[in-house]
Structure 1
């Protein structure tokens, strides 16, 4: 987990609210979001050293000493406040609040969710209050933006914070001619077990000489064990990567990602490497339907009847063959999209964030 850095500004602190569940699933993807937000901020102000708290932390006791609150991956689902985020009991006291890369969660099948979803009056009131005081919500996909705008909540696109590494902006993607290693990330839902195993088998057949890995981003559960057993029988090696962001460093020695984990996909993209995302839930669906990030995304369900696509393995392998022939040229436009958005949206947002927290420091002192 990110270390809980403390500000040395006479007891006044910056707060970073993380979505990383250290004591539960230890989902490394959530940790990557916070890690990325911190790295971007520190690239602009090396003295930025926030205290890191889980999103459910109530901040009442320290509200008088807070300079700023950065909330990467902030949820805009129903009951965001106070179910997912406790913040302050008295929201009129919240100041210098910076939600970025706002997310949306919804259980079950992802198709048609955004068409039919309605916010509760309580959540709408909260979102209206936050945007009136702190400005438009910066969201991680275009479907979330459309949903908020349908409810007259101002919003703009920022993308997921994990997409951005200041050290990689402007770096060209690797033009891979030969796939020597592949990692497959395991899905959340057991309804995709048969589909996942078919894809594992097809990757083995298509890339038999490659080093093959199967990867877990959260703590292992019973369903994971079933998929791992099937994968290891095919010759895959298992990687258990939940917890620390540093665990993902192993991916730097892997050529290609294929799988269901959104932040496995994003980790490869941020490092300018090719990836295939199998769209399993509403988060990945938003990523797939966002202009600029749709490359390499394959819906797990058929649009016509919402049934599981059992031919997806053939579609993925055909796509990969075509991309290998072109040295993954299609991903260059995605890299350019990330670079442009970083320069036009992300960097200005964080510059404004740094400026306001220093103004608050001066006022507090």
Structure 2
């Protein structure tokens, strides 16, 4: 028996992307092994079932979070104090940092994590039979913590029915999906994107999809309502994975949600990702160049004392403060604001791909299929043979 923590976000957003990760992991583990799999989304539910967990061969944690603060503290405590008495296996670990670019990963100051955080990750790695990462940026981030890992791809890459299929190459766009940004500093940029795409595809059915519950943020609700001005119908797809099953009937995704992007690519549908942080940049680096940074890295002349102060903060710290004191909505970052030219770059890219038959997408199915066969399958089999 194997135990699986599917790890929904604990912020109440009902992010459908996280649900897709967990459901996909459960599906391919069942496909790869003959082991019974017991699954959990909630930490408290998992800890209440600790006796059953400790009868399993291992506890796999899908999208194990690598970040500057310990992810799921209750679960971390149970790992360190020995309450969980079986091997804990990070499955497709996920590095999440801002700006999350290569410059940050290779800077002399990386990682700027508290010693206790680093020690926890190293403790997990030391006691795990193996550690895996979901993209090359996460793999490099773990290297910065002196942890080696195997790059097995993201759990949500793998739609078993689509493995072996070629990329769909639409000759025209009849149905278009745009997904919402996580961070509010990109909301104006998202409206510009919808405006341009609305003009490019006036006759297409156009949907603006929110992957998390929009009612949690008045600014996000306003953004979703504004979509109508550009010919888009707003659609809340948070919660169950069935809410995005229609993605397989669409021609193109353009937007900010990493698992909106993956939700299309796993079904062999083209997608263009605007990368908000290390998650999107890591996927673009790993799968291929169909994503663009939504931010620009620069240090502008400070126009006020607060900006000068903010520019002295270590990377990552500013967003912790913004989350704490600004109710979860991020103001424009003083050194990495939203790009002014990315919408033009994205629309040029789409024009080129429609003209050339989406040739820059041809190798993506092979990357997904080969990573599943050569990396994910052997990794899961290794854990099941403990």
Q: Shorter-chain TM-score: which interval?
A: 0.7 to 0.9
Preserved contact between residue 69 and residue 97 of structure 1 (Cα < 8 Å): yes
Question: Does residue 1:264 correspond to 2:264, yes or no?
Answer: no
The alpha-carbon distance between structure 1 residues 326 and 132, as it changes in their structure 2 partners (threshold 3 A), is same
Q: Identify the residue that residue 6 of structure 1 maps to in structure 2.
A: none
C-alpha contact 2:13 2:213 (8 A) present in aligned 1? yes
Q: Which runs of 4+ in 1 moved over 6 A?
A: none
Of the three residues 161, 166, 170, the one matched with 2:164 is 170
1:312 matched residue in structure 2: 342
Which residue of the partner structure matches residue 182 of structure 1? Answer: 176
Q: 1:74 aligned to 2:64? A: yes
- Provide the residue aligned with 1:347 in structure 2: 377
Q: Which runs of 5+ in 1 are unaligned?
A: 1-12, 357-365
Whether the 8 Å CA contact 1:99–1:138 is kept in 2: the answer is yes
Paired with 2:50 and 2:224, the residues of 1 have a C-alpha distance of: 45
Shift of residue 82, structure 1, vs aligned partner: 5.9
Partner residue of 1:331 out of 324, 337, 361 = 361
Q: 1:124 aligns with which of 110, 114, 118?
A: 118
Q: For 1:295-346, what per-residue CA distance to the aligned partner results, in whole angstroms no more than 9, with x for missing partners?
A: 2101111245534222222111110011011221211112111111111101
Change (3 A) 1:163 1:81: closer
Q: Deviations over 1:5-27 (max 9, x none)?
A: xxxxxxxx642112213771100
Contact in 2 for aligned 1:14/1:67 (Cα 8 Å): yes
Is residue 29 of structure 1 aligned with residue 17 of structure 2?
yes
> Please, which of 267, 289, 298 is the counterpart of residue 292 of structure 2?
298
* TM-score of the aligned structures, taking structure 2 as reference length: 0.81
Query: How big is each residue's C-alpha offset from its partner over 1:183-242, in whole Å with a ceiling of 9 and x where there is no partner?
Result: 000111111122111110000111111111000111012122221222112221111111
1:278 aligns with 2:274: yes
Alignment of 1:19 onto 2:7: yes
Q: Deviations over 1:237-276 (max 9, x none)?
A: 1111111111110212211000000000001010001000
Question: Does the Cα contact within 8 Å between 1:295 and 1:334 map onto a contact in 2?
Answer: no
Q: Structure 2 stretches of 5 or more lacking a match?
A: 300-335
| Matched residue count | 341
CA distance in 2: counterparts of 1:328 and 1:59, whole angstroms: 49
The 3-state SS of whatever aligns with 1:152 is coil
How far apart, in 2, do the equivalents of 1:66 and 1:27 lie? 28
Q: Within 5 A, what are the aligned runs for 1:176-215?
A: 176-215=170-209
* Alignment-derived partner of residue 321 in structure 2: none
